[in-house]
Amino acid sequence: MSKVHVRPGKSTDAEIVSALLRSTWAETYANVFTLQKLDEIAVKWHNVDIIERQIADPTSCFLVAEISQHNGPPEIVGHALARLKPDNVIWLSKLYILPKGQNKGTGKALLTVVLDNFSSANSISLEVGIENHQAIGFYKHLGFQQTGLAECCGGRFDVPALVMEKDLHNG
């Protein structure tokens, strides 16, 4: 069985994380968006330059999750990006797991490290595409509740989203 290890992202991870994000988006939303739209989103959201800036940003928590099997080198299979907003709410802007990293505790491990990094936070909030039923189920399982709707996930493109939040002091 493979073990999940979460660590801070490094600049050398940018290309791998970009590929991970493009792959997970394409798989999750292939039946929702055209290939052209997926490419447009990838260029704006998942390009290496943006990822390098996110890694270097001291106000954010940029994480990668690795698994290794059979004494092989670790492979990045997940990524999370979060920051603490002025109202003491964690904004989880990214949590993506490749299929080979799913159902192994990868998402929960990433989320646990995010919460540890911002231990004084009152709550954690996120947006998730309304078509991403697997992620919505994951967040509900962890105690997140829908608190609203957003017309454009992340404020960009026509990606309708659920706004979900979890109170960190009452469950």
Q: What pTM was estimated for this model as a whole? A: 0.89
Q: How crowded is the C-beta side of 152, counted as CA atoms within 13 Å?
A: 6
CATH of 3-121, one of 1.10.10.60, 3.30.420.40, 3.40.630.30, 3.10.110.10: 3.40.630.30
Question: Per-domain residue ranges for the chain?
Answer: 3-121
Per-residue pLDDT of the chain (171 residues; tens, 9 = 90+): 578 999 999 999 999 999 998 888 888 777 777 778 778 777 777 889 999 999 999 999 999 999 987 777 899 999 999 999 999 999 999 999 999 999 999 999 999 999 999 999 999 999 998 888 889 999 999 999 999 877 665 555 567 788 999 999 875
How many helices, marked H, and strands, marked E, lie in the chain? Answer: 5, 7
CB-CB neighbours of 77 under 10 Å: 22
Structure token pair of residue 9 = 């992202």
User: What CA dihedral angle connects 138, 144, 150 and 152, to 10 degrees?
Assistant: -40
